[in-house]
Structure 1
Amino acid sequence: MAFFTVATANAAPVEINPINDTLEDLAYMFNHEKKDPIYKLELLKNKKLDFSYESLKLVDQYLLELRKTNLDELSNEQYTRIVLRTGAYVGETIRRNDKSKKWNWVDFENAQKLNPQFFNDSQDSFAYAAVLTDGTQFTFPLNKVMKFLANGEEDSLYFYAISSAKQQ
């Protein structure tokens, strides 16, 4: 189990336990899990999902196609699987391609240790179950997938990822 230590703005260093392996597994399951696949997996068949920023355009298309179905008819389990696996894929794409920062996945509890002011004012919700942090900044791939499902193309995962990487 790997830990990293981060000095926070108003406190002593905090030891954080990243959950990178777990989210890497979920990202892989996004389009590879056959026994318990995401909803409409066939829409991703034969797509080049290689964790490149360009591959996120395909993920945007997948979610656009899902929005054409009646998302209200999805079970909570199906919706959760879509958000977790898609969000993990988006986050892993950022982690693997953004060379300006060392991103780590953390759960809500560890994010709260890093930035108590922000996360104490936030509800422990599904949107914050796993977040990416470089120790000072945070980005929320799961939340972004939820927004895309609600709003459509205006919440493009491709543009979200490239803009997350450009923030310094």
Structure 2
Amino acid sequence: MSNIPVLWVEEFEELRKDESSFFGSHFRRGIDWSMDSLKLIDSYLEELHNGFARSGGIFGRLFRKPPLNGPQVEMVVHLTGAYVGEVIRKHCMAGYNWYPFEDWISKNPSHVEYLGTTAELGTVFVLGNADGDMCLPFAKVVKFLHNGREDSVYFFAQAMAADNQKIKQ
């Protein structure tokens, strides 16, 4: 298990206090660890997606498609993915913890079939439980940046909550 995503959540909190930044201007209000706060994350990610899809303006230069890489993109994925994962964990995934990719694969070798053998930006951390159930909030953020709103993190969290309720029944 790892505390790195928790440290990214702390960084997220610090960055959102800087109202002069693009990040801070989006997250001054409404980031309260609720499921509804993920709608703000969706809006932020949609703006980034649209920016690099247009390939114009500052975000077009920072987030060209393809490839989706670079330190700015990694920061966005790490910070928003950690926030999304923590919201999911707090609201619907009791018993789930963060695992570095390598630790997760060593405990769940059958997952190599669909996760591969090396960590990617979206799989660097896995949110999982002792039974081998998992979700990939970082991968969902990467997919949103590529595909747009069809990969909503809010919808993703709602689906995780619904699945978790079925399991409890």
Q: Report the TM range for the smaller structure's normalisation.
A: 0.7 to 0.9
Segments of 5+ residues of structure 1 without an aligned counterpart are 1-17
Q: How do 1:7-18 residues align onto structure 2 when only pairs under 5 Å count?
A: 18=1
Secondary structure in 1 matching 2:141: helix
* Residue equivalent to 1:103: 96
Change (3 A) 1:112 1:88: same
Quick check: 2:16–2:24 contact (8 Å CA) kept in 1? Answer: no
Change (3 A) 1:111 1:36: farther
Secondary structure in 2 matching 1:47: coil
Residue 129 in structure 1 maps to residue 124 in structure 2: yes
Q: Could you tell me how far apart the structure 2 residues matched to 1:80 and 1:144 are?
A: 13
Change (3 A) 1:34 1:123: same
* Residue equivalent to 1:77: 71
Change (3 A) 1:123 1:72: farther
Which shifted more, 53-62 or 90-99? 90-99
1:144 alignment partner, one of 140, 143, 149: 140
Change (3 A) 1:35 1:78: farther
Residue type of the alignment partner of 2:106: K
* Residue equivalent to 2:106: 113
Secondary structure in 2 matching 1:126: coil
Q: Could you tell me how far apart the structure 1 residues matched to 2:145 and 2:158 are?
A: 19
Q: Per-residue CA shift, 1:92-123, capped at 9, x if unaligned?
A: 00111115x31100011111022202226614
Which shifted more, 23-32 or 68-77? 68-77
Change (3 A) 1:81 1:143: same
Q: Could you tell me how far apart the structure 2 residues matched to 1:159 and 1:45 are?
A: 19
Residue type of the alignment partner of 1:29: E
Q: Could you tell me how far apart the structure 2 residues matched to 1:57 and 1:115 are?
A: 32
* Residue equivalent to 2:37: 55
Which shifted more, 88-97 or 157-166? 157-166
Alpha-carbon distance, 1:166 to partner:
2.2
Segments of 5+ residues of structure 2 without an aligned counterpart are 53-58, 64-69
May I ask how many residue pairs the two structures share in their alignment? 148
- Report the TM-score when normalising by structure 2: 0.78
Which of the pair is proportionally richer in helix? Answer: 2
* Residue equivalent to 2:66: none
Secondary structure in 1 matching 2:122: helix
Q: Per-residue CA shift, 1:7-46, capped at 9, x if unaligned?
A: xxxxxxxxxxx11x32112023224237999x72144242
- Report the TM-score when normalising by structure 1: 0.78
